[in-house]
Structure 1
Amino acid sequence: MLSGKRIILGVTGGIAAYKAAFLLRAYQKAGADVRVAMTPAATRFVGVETFSSLSKHEVAVEVFPENRANTESWTQHISWAEWADLFVIAPCTANTLAKIAHGISDNMLTATVLAARCPLLICPTMDGEMYEAPAVQTNLETVKERGYHLLEPEEGYLASGLEGKGRLPEIASILKESSRIIPTNNTEGPLTGQKVVVTAGPTREYIDPVRYISNPSSGKMGFAMAEAAQQLGAEVTLIHGPVSIPKPRGIETVEIESAADLFEEVKKEADADIVIMAAAVADFSPQETSRQKIKKKGAKTELSLTQTQDILRWLGKHKQDGQQLIGFAMETEELIKNAQTKLEKKNADWIVANSISEPDAGFQSDTNSVYLLDGKSQQQFKGSKKEVALTILQTIFG
């Protein structure tokens, strides 16, 4: 649910501020793009450079920062508020909670709260007696009445040395609550309610730590298929190899490297309603992988290979009732004949076939020319990969 989402992580001046760095990384691993807003007090616990380096974004602290040449910086809270899908404040001190409850905007974090168009998740974190104080409890009720989301602190050993309720919740709990409240794709279409798994990009089969067998796949066609399925209303999981193109927003992504990695992830998702195997999977892997770089001097010039798992064929053998299996075939000759053979041998329902010898088609191109086969007929589609992907799914699923 967090993949492709844009999250502002607010960090305030409590000892738990250091945990926000781990939370940021967890959001990133879930596929989210994260920007960090800190209160001035938070910078006393964790340096701005830490969050800037981790997030790959500038960190917002002051509305009017010193030595800032950009005269539009004071409107940053507006642009960030428009950018975000979710605003999470973790940890949130009693001081910042009070400011939010009473609409005070004396730093970039609190100003952005007032400008936010997205859900706000507050994780109040403080000493146990502070948390139970009447003023804090009143402020908690106030922010709840205004529609903000609260994740109550956990009990345990606190920075004061006392036991009580006030600890920042575990990162897994914050991610779970974030996933629950973040806006989701509500597109209605022919694939609404369907779970779709798409594989994309190349795999890498390592010879040694610095050399591998792979192919030039960019992942563009597979990513386009995932976006098309989402556009038609599906819940999509995208499993992809090493690529440099941006991840699609709102789609859960899983990164893999080798064919064996891909097989393990596909098996986890084998109960999907629709599986689209668009990945360019290496057919061969080195029989042995060296742990150290193989030196040129004295090295063998022959490389022994072994076949990798035929994932599409495995899916065909284990296909469930009603499940639709769509494979891809990249050929250099006898395109239709070879694609038809693949359709039958793999027990697929559809094969999308294209030739790398055609102009404006193939691995790195933004356009494609393909044939869609179902064993009875064939149809040709041309255009951008996004247009072709959408046309393929509309043709199959109406």
Structure 2
Amino acid sequence: MDLGLSKKATALRDRIRSFIDEKVMPVEEEYLSEVGKDGERFAYTARMTEILENLKSEAKKDGLWNFWLTDSDAGFGLTTVEYAYLAEEMGRSHLAAESFNCSAPDTGNMEVIERYGTQEHKDKWLKPLLDGKIRSAYLMTEPDVASSDATNLEMSAVLDGDEYVLNGEKYWASGAGDPRCALYVVMVKTGGEDTPRKNQHSMIFVDPKTDGIEILRPMMVFGHDDAPHGHMHIRFTNVRVPKGNLILGEGAGFEVSQGRLGPGRIHHCMRSIGAAERALELLCQRATTREAFGRPLAKLGANYDIIAEARISIEMSRLLCLKAAYMMDTIGTQAAQPYISQIKVQAPRMALEVIDEAMQMHGGRGISQDFPLAAMWTGQRTLRFADGPDAVHRMVIARTELKKYRSNSV
């Protein structure tokens, strides 16, 4: 099992690391301080746009762009294992992923268009997404059903001539608050009750400017609206969408969503490891530069043990993430689902523990705006819900394990 990096990917990782350290990190705090300055939460100030577009322009110029699309002629030709190392680097910074056009939910949505879309879809949405000109959102979760079981989804899409008519509500539509959002990828119900449950749903492309779409509110995450990205609650009332926007045909919703969510889940996990690395770095810097009771913080209490355990946890999680990536490369995303589920549970849980210890080491300022730790913690805690809650992934893991011992499914 080769979990290492090729010479090409090693050089790429080193360049990404340098770019983040030298160009992204120095402007990150200023960028975040600009949110809402002009009085509009879900808008970009001139300075935010300048910072972000400058980073993207420099990344493009340096050839550090769109390396997320693995196993495709449209990308860098990287394996999922190789990309894991790059995504980890990006996980250290709030702005890094978008600087390289490798941020969620766009990467997953671009994969859907690239792998399942028609040429018309690609011309209309994939090209500007690949160029970093627009953003997109993925709409799956609904407020009135237990959406962790996606067969419960109720938002209807009824064919009327050459158009589907959409009615229903979605929430936690990440990225839908961004004024640059020009595409919704939406899970809808097209089949009736006589259709097999796994074939009742479909995926469809929707233009956010279509009549009948109403953004009701931004969802608050631990009291914050995550502007200007946003996780919006949206109502669709008789929204008419061209029949040609349906992806792969009626009943293919789960096929498309699994093709999208597998890579997306592991990309999140890779970035979680990067976030944990940054938290440990901040922890160690604080522990060696601050004193209390006449001694460096590192030498007080159980801090040696805390630092050691953090390093061990990060290394174990990285290996599990790389194994899941290797399985995706060798046996395919669908067969690798149990491994993806394992790291989807473990990575954010590990990152939360490391970030929590880093906050503790920083005292009161650790939970303030003076350091990125509080925002990192809320992001990782939210990730335990995103792309399937822990309980669902543990169920996948347990069922796979039990198959070794029982002839019937449990």
Q: Which band: TM-score by shorter chain?
A: under 0.3
The normalised TM-score by structure 2 is 0.21
Higher helix share: 2
**Larger relative contact order (C-alpha < 8 A, sep ≥ 6)?**
2
Higher strand share: 1
Larger Rg over CA atoms: 1
The normalised TM-score by structure 1 is 0.22
